[in-house]
Amino acid sequence: MHTKTLYELSKLLHEGDISSVELTQHYIDRIKTHNNQLNAYITVCEDNALKQARDADQKIQQKTAGKLTGIPIAHKDIFCTKGIRTSCASKMLDNFISPYNATVVEKVNTAGMVTLGKTNMDEFAMGSSNETSFYGPVKNPWDNTRVPGGSSGGSAAAVTANLAPVATGTDTGGSIRQPASLCNLTGLKPTYGRISRYGMIAFASSLDQAGPLARSAEDAALLLNEMAGFDSLDSTSVERDVPDYTTTLQDSIEGLKIGLPKEYFSEGLDPQVAATIEAAIKTYESLGATIKDITLPNTGLAVPTYYVVAPAECSSNLSRMDGVRFGHRCDDPKDLLDLYQRSRGEGFGEEVKRRIMTGTYALSSGYYDAYYLKAQQCRRLISNDFQQAFNDIDVIMGPTTPTTAFKLGDKTDDPISMYLADIYTISTNLAGLPGLSIPAGFVKGLPVGLQIIGNYFDEARLLNVAHSYQQATDWHKQSPPSFE
């Protein structure tokens, strides 16, 4: 049951072969059995989930159900969920019970989906390995000694281990695509503004974007249909019609023009990962696509640009968490300054503190022009590179990550090395473009992801391109033997 696609589950539910209560209980039982091994969930919402499932069964019986009604889903613990703890995997919000739902949560609730629980993540989405969580690291289902990627590692591990059929994630610099790559999933970061950020606790407001983590492009398209759309509560939401992303999945990709940036196949890329990606590109050629070598000359600026812009915005966004209104509050503060210092010092982890300090410095008087303003200028150069490339090609392809999943603890003492794990994904966030990672093979038993980047609001094409590959290969159907 837990290996079936969303289409298959929907068919079983609507034909009465299984009830949503039975399906939900099946997943809850699997979570109880396997979560201690992976640490994928922070909070499991058993009672609430079964109530939602009963409501879904009633809708199905009354013939008022949608395609995803009754299907369970896991939410990254960065999305506010009414009456349920929303922690951002931080001690700072360990006791925070949200009084409202994020728009993404509200949308999938309206679709009749069932919330299984809240998944583990890097604290406030700051990390590339899911090791900065206050609740401990998430383990990769393919090898429990390795990271699942971050910051949406809990969502990725949950879907990979069949502890949820699908999950939400967020992507600020690769935090959906990177764990998708390391866990053998399909992970989509849509165009900035395609999905509402309302109720998604902000890390870097100009970069954050929600998206689906699923086993296949088909499943991702189904979930994106429910997640996407304009939201008047979010000033960065784009007022644009949402197509049915499933209707173009089967379109031919004959004549598709694929750009391969030389910067994505240079020093730092593991040779075996490179060979796996090149084999995937050859599959696309056999499907009728044409290949063109391109250059994105400012790619080298992406990591330093990101690590000025993102920390600056996180410094501003997290300033509200001061021990006064909500979140962790220190014991017996002597005065207001002591309250601020100890509440924040005790509530935030080391990586979050590092980024807050970096961002505060970059925004400080005398340094703003030298760092933050200059980073925004570099950001424009990166965006211009993509727009020039898309004059001649349809999509860009390359590796999602430079290596397969690394060992837990390997990079925790070397932040720069950790930051470089996102070297191929960061540019799309800086430019606001959609990006997708799909399973492309294995190296020594560990998954490799192929990244596909499209032009603005070209999610339908990305999903079509991904689906065409998945019709010709079966990498996305592989599951870790321990969790089948």
- Active site positions, annotated: 76, 151, 175
Tokens of 312: 């600056």
From CA 69, how far away is CA 59, in angstroms rounded? 8
Structure tokens at 216: 């296949």
CB atoms under 10 Å from CB of 4, counted, come to: 16
- Cis upstream peptide for 151 (omega within 30°): yes
Is 35 within 8 Å of 92 (Cβ atoms)?
no
Position 426, amino acid: I
Spatial distance between the Cα atoms of 385 and 39, rounded to a whole number of angstroms: 40
Tokens for 345, please give them: 């010092």
Given a contact cutoff of 8 angstroms between Cβ atoms, the answer to whether 112 and 65 are in contact is yes
**128 CA to centre of own chain:** 11
CA end-to-end span of the chain: 10
Report the alpha-carbon distance of residue 426 to residue 254 in Å, rounded. 29
Q: Torsion angle of alpha carbons 111, 97, 210, 205, nearest 10°?
A: 140
d(C-alpha 136, C-alpha 132), whole Å = 7
Query: What residues pair up with 442 in beta bridges, in sequence order?
Result: 447
List strands edge to edge, sheet with 290-294. Answer: 41-44, 114-119, 72-76, 167-171, 209-214, 186-189, 435-443, 446-453, 395-399, 257-261, 290-294
Q: Give the whole-angstrom CA distance, residue 77 versus residue 136.
A: 14
Instruction: List 396's β-bridge partners, or say none.
Output: 259, 453
Q: Which residues contact 12 (CB under 8 A, 6 or more apart)?
A: 4, 18, 23
415, 164 contact by CB (below 8 A): no
Q: CB of 468 within 8 A of CB of 447? A: no
Reading the block at residue 299, the tokens are 């790619």
171 SS3 class: strand
In the chain, the amino acid numbered 14 is: H
| DSSP label of 258 | E
Phi then psi for 291, rounded to 5 degrees? -110, 140
HSE-up (13 A, CA, CB side) for residue 142: 27
